[in-house]
Amino acid sequence: MKVSYDPKVDAAYISFKKGPLQVTTIRLTEDIAIDFGPNEEIVGIEVLDASEHLEIQKDAPRIELENILS
């Protein structure tokens, strides 16, 4: 899984699958979309206005991981 954030446009993307895939995008709201790949697997989630929806600080974004084992 990869999480990216672009403070210039205040957008976050959570990617669950690697590689280029053909996706179908379903918009849940004006700011939130889910990308589905083959077999209706979730490929990624896009969040616009991320600082508002995810409480991200634009100048110092942080992600906290819990219960992640290596």
pLDDT in tens, 51-60: 999 988 888 8
Q: Which domain holds residue 37?
A: 2-53
Per the domain annotation, does 69 fall within a domain?
no
Per the domain annotation, does 60 fall within a domain?
no
pTM across the whole model = 0.85
Q: Confidence class of residue 66 from pLDDT cuts 50, 70 and 90?
A: confident
First to last CA, the chain: 13
Per the domain annotation, does 63 fall within a domain?
no
User: Is residue 70 over pLDDT 70?
Assistant: no
**pLDDT 10s digits, 7-50:** 999 999 999 988 778 999 999 999 999 999 988 999 999 999 99
| Overall number of domains in the chain | 1
Per the domain annotation, does 16 fall within a domain?
yes
Per the domain annotation, does 68 fall within a domain?
no
Per the domain annotation, does 62 fall within a domain?
no
